Amino acid sequence: MLRRDMQQPLPFGKYLLLERISVGGMAEVFKAKSFGVNGFAKIIAIKKILPQLAEDAHFVDMFVNEAKMAVQLTHANICQIYDLGRENGDHFIAMEYIGGKDLLSLHNHFRRTKTRMPVALIAHIGAKIAEALDYAHRKRGVDGEPLGIVHRDISPQNVIISFEGSVKVIDFGIAKARSRNQEDTQAGVLKGKFGYMSPEQIDGARDIDHRSDIFAIGTVVHELLTGRRLFLGESDFATLEQVRGAKVELPSVSNPDVPPELDAILMHALARRPDDRYPWAGQMGEELAALSHRLGASFPGQALGEWMREHFAADIAKEKARHELYSQMDGNEPDDSIEDDRTEFNPLPPLLSGDEEEETQLWEPEEEEKGLLEKAAASMSFAPAAVPRVPRSTTEEAPPAIRPPTVQSTPSPHAATTAQLPTANTDSAILPSLLSHPPRLDILRAGLIALAGLLLATFFGAVAYRTLFGRPTVAETTSMVIRVEPVGDATFYLDNRVVSSGAVFSKGDLRVGPHTLRIERLGFETYKSSLNVAAHEAFEQTIRLTPTVAIPARILFRLTPKDAELSIDGRQIPIDERQGYVAVAAGRRVAVKAARDGYKTYEGDMVAESGVSRPEEITLAPLGASLFIDSDPPADVFIDGVYRGRTPQKLLDLDPLREYDVRIERPGFETYAEHVQFGDKRVVQIEPRLKKASQTP
């Protein structure tokens, strides 16, 4: 069995375990090294089932089945699975190692530094998570049938941002296996993740589908924007009730940098009913990606990498130092002569699976004791005991050669004979033998003829290759840039060949002349066009794709006054429904009506684009207010200093939102003055009895 104290790097089958980097409620993760031929080596991650679960045959079967499913997922934003195996009774998964920080670590970083990530980068992170999940949701097996993958465990711990700026979703398959695990382990598995479930998960629905993951994406992005938990009660039960109710505050309330478009996207994803959410995660990802570009992130992946390197420079330096140490390790068993009291190699405490407030490093420890690498290096032996060490010269400056792991194989007789020859005498023994037996003339002639034939074949082969596959000359080429709207991933075909996948296709050495262009994108009609590209003329075009199915628009109606009634195509929209985004039919004219007593009724129409999310401002104009003025005795009336005649006066169509200064004057009487505000009233009466002015002696 594996020694879990990890005082030394340990062989583990064909891998070398370097350090244990996390322990959770389900598994433990090790940084490891794999080896190949000719010195090939790669840093990977090894994930193992914990001992208490390894004895559960039912769970192991699910672990194996789900790992087989996860290995089929190959996407830039999904952690790649390399191998599923068993070593000394321990089931494990070998997977891609990601040097970076999970989103929980970013939350803790924000809390410590009192900073926020730019909204454009958060939108980019959300877009990449959505793209990864959309790929998994739509993935089909070799038989062409959908695999029906639902992650079910999207949370800050399961999304990693690498130091290079890539976004990786991890733990595919395991979450699904956990959700079906036996009852006595479900409480431990779910603890701490209630706040990232969907309402239908809380309700125990059996038909949970991919839209549950969309709700979780919205939760994670909302928390990145606001810097605080979206669903967090005083107890697990209270948290469950919050999720079940799905009462969500607009993120712009806590973060004024959040634009209305992003509010709309998140409220759509966080809808209580699955039918009211995005039908597919890819559509959410497209809107987030487009918004990220509009917010100024022209190259969001590069900008995210720069942000990570700026904020985690110390962690990057530590990782580089560790990997320099690991580069000297081979795949052999450590030297048993090392004393038992040697310094432990980078031990880490277990992850607190139920406490999201604790710092969680899923792949990389955040803190390291000073001098730990030097102590570990001094305590390790990298050469196997069976091979004698060769003493180095005191003047030698070059580092020792790094040897690949020893491969046991049956040597050939020729290899054994060659190995017995002293290396220093090999050349001196062979060269005289060749000189003492000069080749015959006919053999030399045949060799020259063969050499000449080879040169001719090489020459004509190069000409043919240049003709068929060579790059055209500058005079024969031009450049092409094609963009698509709405912004999102599309597949570009040039002359019936796939040339690009993304929102932009560019080519700097396009051959002049006629070409055919085809663009395919899920949910949109295929675009086809014939082009005739001229020499020395850059070709640039933006193509707007047409949706195949009109996706309802989502409109956030902001009414003034707020308690006005709203109806769309005759359907009354309750006030509580207007707190979020209202689904509006897209691609056709929709009648909108808003009314309130004391205000002019608004009647208009709108045509919303398919799938768009945006706010709509409607301000009702108040009906004209009336001011009745009379006095005893009659007197002159002044409104805002302007003479309006003698009382009684009836002033109509005044602005009820304005304030008016009223003054009533009559010689021999005291002046009466009043400041009039209508408020909710539409009629105000002023009927003062004037007082005689006191006479001076």
Say which CATH architecture domain 481-544 belongs to: Sandwich (2.60)
CA gap 132, 80 in Å, rounded: 12
CA gap 502, 499 in Å, rounded: 10
- Using DSSP, state whether 622 is helix, strand or coil: strand
CB 665 within 8 A of CB 671: yes
The number of CA neighbours under 13 Å toward the Cβ of 584 is: 34
Residues 96, 97, 100: CA angle, nearest 5 degrees: 130
pLDDT at 201: 86
pLDDT tens for residues 307-341?
A: 999 999 999 988 888 888 887 776 554 444 333 33
Which of 534, 481, 538 has the alpha carbon at shortest distance from 512?
534
Give 689's DSSP letter.
B
CA gap 501, 499 in Å, rounded: 7
Q: CATH classification of 100-311 is 1.10.150.120, yes or no?
A: no
Residues 554, 560, 564: CA angle, nearest 5 degrees: 80
Which residues make beta-bridge pairs with 519?
A: 492, 527
CA gap 425, 588 in Å, rounded: 90
Give the DSSP letter string of 310-336.
Answer: HH-HHHHHHHHHHHHHHTT--SSPPPT
Q: Torsions phi, psi of 417, nearest 5?
A: -65, -45
Domain map (residue ranges) of the chain: 10-98+313-351+360-378, 100-311, 481-544, 553-619, 625-686
The answer to whether domain 481-544 and domain 553-619 are alike in fold is: yes
Please report, to the nearest 10 degrees, the dihedral formed by the alpha carbons of residues 135, 140, 146, 148 taken in order. -50
Least confident range of 103-107, 334-338, 545-549: 334-338
pLDDT tens for residues 679-689?
A: 777 789 999 99
CB 32 within 8 A of CB 43: yes
Which of 21, 42, 179 has the alpha carbon at shortest distance from 105?
21
Which of 167, 182, 266 has the alpha carbon at shortest distance from 217?
266
Q: CATH classification of 553-619 is 2.60.40.1120, yes or no?
A: yes
Which residues make beta-bridge pairs with 84?
A: 93
pLDDT-derived band at 176 (thresholds 50, 70, 90) equals low
Least confident range of 72-81, 366-375, 575-584, 620-629: 366-375
Which of 113, 83, 79, 84 has the alpha carbon at shortest distance from 96?
79
CB 643 within 8 A of CB 637: yes
What is the strand order of the sheet 490-494 is part of?
A: 497-502, 490-494, 513-520, 527-533
List the CATH code of the domain at 10-98+313-351+360-378. 3.30.200.20
Q: Which residue has the tokens 């959505």?
A: 130
For residues 60 and 120, the model is more confident at 120
pLDDT tens for residues 382-436?
A: 333 333 333 333 333 433 333 334 334 334 333 333 333 333 333 333 333 333 3
CB 521 within 8 A of CB 491: yes
